[in-house]
């Protein structure tokens, strides 16, 4: 599983203070999500594009991630143009395409892509643990931070466990079909994964207790805002405000 594939670079974008990254991404996303002007949303794409170029990310891989998101958005294009009431611009038999529907679909597509690109540019260029630290610096509740972190750390282990089980099933000639046997086998698989994860979580807690864990995480690296951080924070926030007031 490649969750952190973009995090191992050394551009200035990678080195930014993770707190700045989180705040900027959050403000930018809210501003873009709430804007209903097509032109403004289109312009908002500039910032994440510039950042992605500066971060020297592999363009193909970025597009692959976008493709996944746009796969969901495709469904909107299948329904919105036909169902939103408004001015008819084309009709084929009983189906009519409305201008408002097209506008909405395009707006949502641009917004989603703009926000996802921003998340890729800023958040996926940091290691998860760095973001977790930054979250605790930004007064996110401890429980949420720990939940987020352990999800990430053990998703990998559970994923491996899943593959081991599936491979073991294949080795014994299992082929999924539409029958009870298949459903039962899959439900055993899911059940087994749940139980194993639960047991593992107990063992992990035990191991942590043995090393003196007292329900508090101490932070090894502290962050310091540098000139670049202020520069990015300032310019991005200014850009977001500009988007907000632009009509």
Partner 1 sequence: MIKLRDIRFKYASHFLFDGLNLTIERGDRVGLLGANGCGKTTLCHIIMGLLAPESGDVEIFGKKRTKESDFAEIRGKIGFLFQDSDDQLFCPTVIEDVAFGPLNMGQSPEEAKRTVTSTLKSLKLSGFEDRITYKLSGGEKRLVSLATVLAMKPDFLILDEPTSGLDEKTTQRLVEILKESNLGYMIISHDRDFIKLTVDKLIQMKDGQIQTADWNSLEM
Q: Which residues bind partner 1 (CB under 8 A)?
A: 127-129, 150, 153, 156-157, 200, 203-204, 206-214, 218-222
Element (H, E) at 96: strand 95-98
181/189 Cα distance (integer angstroms): 12
The answer to whether residues 56 and 68 touch, using CB atoms and an 8 Å cutoff, is no
Enumerate helices (H) and strands (E) in the chain, giving the number of each. 9, 2
Based on CB atoms, which residue is closest to partner 1, 82 or 150?
150
CB of 206 to partner 1, least distance (A): 5
By C-beta, is 172 or 214 nearer to partner 1?
214
Closest distance to partner 1 from the beta carbon of 11 (Å): 18
Helix (H, G, I), strand (E, B) or coil at 146: helix
Is the Cβ–Cβ distance between 11 and 117 less than 8 Å? no
Strand, helix or coil for residue 191: helix
Smallest distance from the beta carbon of 46 to partner 1, in angstroms?
Answer: 33
Which CB sits closer to partner 1, 65 or 200? 200
Q: Cβ 192 to partner 1, closest distance in Å?
A: 17
Residue (of 212, 225, 213) closest to 137 by Cα position: 225
Residue closer to partner 1 (CB basis): 152 or 174: 152
């Amino acid at each position: 599983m490649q969750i952190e594939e973009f995090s191992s670079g050394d551009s200035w974008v990678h080195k930014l203070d993770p707190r700045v990254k989180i705040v900027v991404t959050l403000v930018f996303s809210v501003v873009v999500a709430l804007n209903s002007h097509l032109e403004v949303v289109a312009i908002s794409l500039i910032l994440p594009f510039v950042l992605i170029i500066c971060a020297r990310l592999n363009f193909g891989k970025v597009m692959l991630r976008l493709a996944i998101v746009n796969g969901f958005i495709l469904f909107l294009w299948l329904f919105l143009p036909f169902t939103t009431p408004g001015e008819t611009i084309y009709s084929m038999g009983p189906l009519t395409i409305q201008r408002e529907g097209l506008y909405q679909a395009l707006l949502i597509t641009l917004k989603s892509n703009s926000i996802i690109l921003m998340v890729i540019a800023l958040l996926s260029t940091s290691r998860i643990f760095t973001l977790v630290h930054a979250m605790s610096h930004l007064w996110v509740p401890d429980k949420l931070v720990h939940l987020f972190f352990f999800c990430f750390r053990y998703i990998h282990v559970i994923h491996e466990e899943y593959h081991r089980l599936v491979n073991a099933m294949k080795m014994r000639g299992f082929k999924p079909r539409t029958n009870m046997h298949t459903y039962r086998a899959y439900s055993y698989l899911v059940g087994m994964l749940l139980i194993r994860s639960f047991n593992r979580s107990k063992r992990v807690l035990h191991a942590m207790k043995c090393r003196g864990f007292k329900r508090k995480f101490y932070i090894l690296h502290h962050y310091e805002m540098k000139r670049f951080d202020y520069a990015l924070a300032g310019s991005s926030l200014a850009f977001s405000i500009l988007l907000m007031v632009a009509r």
